[in-house]
Structure 1
Amino acid sequence: MALKDNTSSTHFNENALRAADKAFHLLVTGPRPLSVDGRAIGYGLPERPIDLLELKELLLKPQAGDELKDAVWAHLVRRSRADDPAWVIGCVGVAMPGLKNLAARTTQGCPAHVAEDIVSEMVTYFVAQLRRIDLDRPNILPRLLLWAKKGALRVRARECSSVEICADVPEPVALDGEPFMVLAEAVRCRVISSDEAKLINATRLEGQALRAYAGRLGVPADRLYKRRRAAEARLARAIEEGQVSVSCDGPASNLAC
């Protein structure tokens, strides 16, 4: 008899995200689906009521620009703050592609029960930031997802300390503007190495101190600083020249600073 796999490779679909996805689909089906008025948002949206399932699909299309995404997310977040809790579920549902990608990466290698806690905290952080996120700044969804990642890694660091969080460079994901995409695509295009991507991910996106990171690797901090600076310069140049074909919102846009 085959042993049941108890790792988290698919388990995250069974917990908080699956429950949220089910609730979301209940809200967007039937005679009165949860919808936005495309005329009120503008930026090329159809001038009619758009249910949130269709809206999610529209935002995933290549032609969906950053201004449209921010306008939509500003509208959704405001509704989540002012209306009934259905709009909180709506926000989670529209962000589901990014949340699922994040769950897959942050639960990799963890036991199923720990994966459940990781994903639960990830969703909790995401929802909490709906009340706090600055809607006047760009890249609303990428910033929400960075907070969700912070919650996930907080639990993972506590429960899975024996599993290296950045063991692998993440695969490209189908969400424009997420910084992990930029690093993964840059590695795939051989603009930076996997070790350089880990360095940037840890010290830029996760906020780890470069000196502490160098200490764990047993290398001089000055050497890592120069290596990071050179890698970020190559990455910024590749983005500018179009060699890395994903958008560069959020922290990735400041890599050369």
Structure 2
Amino acid sequence: MGSLPRLSSAHEVPAPWRIPGGTTRHDASGVVMSFNQVADETGTKAAQARRAGAQPGNALDVAARSFRFLITGPSPLAVDGRKLGHGLPPRQIDLGELLSLLLDRTATDALKDAAWVELIARARTGDPAWVIGCVGVAMPGLKNIAARLIRSSPTRFADDIVSELLTEFVAQLARIDTTRPNISARLMLWARKGALRALGWEARHLPRDPWELSSAPHVNKDTDPVLLLLDAVRREIITPAAASLIIATRLDAASVRDIAREQGISSDRLYRQRREAESRLVAAIRNGTLFASSPC
């Protein structure tokens, strides 16, 4: 496989950007995404980062530092607000500002999808800086997923959870269907699925709630609940947001009240959303329209 394109001086990536066991992923269009190759592209910026006092950490820590490096200075990674529209300022918007705008409670789903369509298109050019840009914009969600999984897992799995989470997220930048809505939420679902590889098959099935998908008709006892939820999203039985809510509160033991507080909505509303989504899942399983097939 050919190496990644040489970065321009404005977008060189600081070291270290290396994930233990990182894998190379690409699709037929030639999108190449390799954490270790990105590290090999740093050149003289590696020494600069070391002199700046960059400290080692897990893969998300390294990604966060790399993202900060890429959004500072005279030529930060930026998107054109005029092109994206949806109420964005009609000027160049660096990815740090874009992240803040997307996290704002007034940000619409349409704005979020438009931003991710643009970010993924840039990443698919093969420029590692934009791959890291995507990781940086997704960082709040990735950190939340990692924190929940690490909190409920043996300490020895922590670094592997983060590495697999990030590896799967980057792999999906080449694969995710950007013509469908809720791009960010679907990326998060896949990232979590990747993180579970670090825990092994048994860890995916630890019961955390009496509601057991695997006891329903048409579902094999070895069915992975996350795969089932991904399939339900693909079939538009439930939304990615509903799947994320079920995963967080049913599988990761997160509090509905805490999530409601973070999102600035009532916990009653989230409980209702979860209950309705679970009812749709059960109905789909019982009538045979939902199986644990491989979602896209």
TM-score, with structure 1 as normaliser: 0.62
Instruction: Tell me if structure 2 keeps the 8 A contact 1:70–1:138.
Output: yes
Alignment of structure 1 residues 1-257 onto 2, 5 Å = 14-82=57-125, 84-157=127-200, 161=202, 194-196=209-211, 199=212, 210-212=219-221, 243-245=268-270, 252=277, 255=281, 257=284
Q: Which amino acid in structure 1 is aligned with residue 58 of structure 2?
A: N
Equivalent-residue separation in structure 2 for 1:246 and 1:87 (angstroms): 37
State whether residues 82 and 90 of structure 2, in contact with CA within 8 Å, keep that contact through their aligned partners in structure 1.
yes
Confirm or deny: 8 A CA contact 1:126 1:145 kept in the other structure.
Answer: yes
1:66-99 deviations in Å (ceiling 9; x for gaps):
1111110010000000152100000000000000
Aligned-pair distance for 1:109? 3.9
Counterpart of 1:35, as a letter, is A
Shift, 1:30, TM fit: 1.2
Structure-2 separation of matches of 1:30 and 1:112: 37
Greater relative CO (CA pairs within 8 A, separation 6+): 1
Q: Name the CA distance, whole Å, in 2 between partners of 1:24 and 1:57.
A: 14
Once the two structures are TM-superposed, the CA of residue 114 in structure 1 deviates from its matched residue by 1.6
Cα offset, 1:167, TM superposition: 5.9
Relative distance call for 1:45 and 1:165 in structure 2 (3 A) is farther
- For residue 87 of structure 2, what is the amino acid of its counterpart? G
Q: Equivalents in 1 of 2:215, 2:129: separation in Å?
A: 37
Q: In structure 1, how many angstroms separate the alpha carbons of the residues matched to 2:141 and 2:68? A: 17
Alpha-carbon distance in structure 2 between the residues aligned to 1:153 and 1:97: 19
Mapped to 2, the partners of 1:52 and 1:105 lie a distance apart of 26
Describe the shift of the 1:157–1:245 C-alpha distance in structure 2 as closer, same or farther (beyond 3 A): same
**Deviation for aligned residue 1:113:** 3.6
Two-structure CA RMSD over aligned residues (Å): 3.4
Contact conserved, 2:59 with 2:162, CA < 8 A, in 1?
A: yes
- For residues 101-139 of structure 1, the C-alpha deviation after alignment (integer angstroms, 9 at most, x for no partner) is 000111224344421011101100000010111110111
Q: Deviations over 1:23-59 (max 9, x none)?
A: 0000011111111000011111111111101101111
Q: 1:82/1:164 Cα in 2 relative to 1: closer, same or farther (>3 Å)?
A: closer
- The TM-score, its normalising length taken from structure 2, stands at 0.54
Q: Report % sequence identity.
A: 51
* Unpaired runs of at least 5, structure 2: 1-55, 224-241, 246-266, 285-296
Please state whether the residue corresponding to 1:157 is helix, strand or coil. coil
8 A Cα contact 1:106 1:165, kept in partner:
no
CA distance in 2, matches of 1:164, 1:148: 14
**Residue 3 (structure 1) aligns with:** none
Alpha-carbon separation, structure 1, partners of 2:197 and 2:94: 34
In structure 2, give the amino acid aligned to 1:73. W
CA 1:164–1:125: 2 relative to 1, 3 Å: closer
Q: Distance in 1 between matches of 2:98 and 2:272?
A: 20
Q: For 1:210 and 1:77, locate their aligned partners in 2 and report how far apart those are by CA, in whole Å.
A: 34
Contact 1:107–1:156 (8 Å) recurs in 2 = no
| Helix, strand or coil at the partner of 1:36 | strand
Q: Residues of 2 paired with 1:167 and 1:100: CA distance?
A: 23
- Give the whole-Å Cα distance in 2 for the aligned partners of 1:53 and 1:247: 34
